[in-house]
A = this chain, B = another copy of it.
Amino acid sequence: MTTAPASQFDAIAALEDAGLRITGQRRQVVAAIDRKDAGFTAEALASELDGVGRATVYRTLKLLVEADVICKLALPDGTPMYSPSRVEHHHHSVCTSCGAVEEFRDSTVERVLRSLNREIEGEIIGHRMEVFIRCRACLISTDE
């Protein structure tokens, strides 16, 4: 259950579970995301889906983020990216050259939060961790 692929099926099911209608447009968005194997921007997805309006793409992405089917993350410069989410509770490594996103679980991150919990006067309500990398393929292709 930790590595169950977030197939098109799951995403649609997640939307249904949320009491939402399954429209042709939503199917198209989900199918397009399912074809991705790297991070993508909302705008790229929108221009790729000619039959679906821009606003609808953004709305659907938001619904999918809320349903935990995809993740929204950001490059170092703040450029927003989306990535299908296949692992339950995880963080991301993003290749800044090609946009490839890997998910990783690391119990150490949770340990950071626990130790922080003792230090901080307040309630931890969330966190974000992103690691920026240059992936193997990009290292090779660029030079040497």
A residues with CB within 8 A of B: 72, 74, 76, 78, 80, 93, 95-96, 102, 104, 106, 108-109, 111-113, 115-116, 119-136, 138-139
A138: B residues at CB distance < 8 A: 122
Q: Which of B113, B126, B135 lies in contact with A76, CB distance below 8 A? A: B126
Cβ contact of A124, chosen from B76, B115, B131, B136, cutoff 8 A: B131
B108/A93 in contact, CB under 8 A: no
With the chains together, A112 CA to B105 CA distance in Å?
10
What are 25 A-B contacts with C-beta separation under 8 Å?
A: A72-B78, A74-B74, A74-B78, A76-B126, A78-B80, A102-B120, A104-B119, A106-B112, A106-B116, A108-B108, A108-B111, A108-B112, A112-B129, A116-B131, A121-B135, A122-B135, A122-B136, A122-B138, A124-B131, A126-B131, A127-B129, A127-B131, A128-B129, A128-B130, A129-B129
Q: Can you name the residue of chain B whose Cβ is closest to the Cβ of A112?
A: B108
Asked if residues B134 and A76 are in contact (CB atoms below 8 Å), the reply is: no
Q: How far is the CB of A29 from chain B (nearest CB, A)?
A: 20
CA gap between A126 and B77 in the complex, in Å: 12
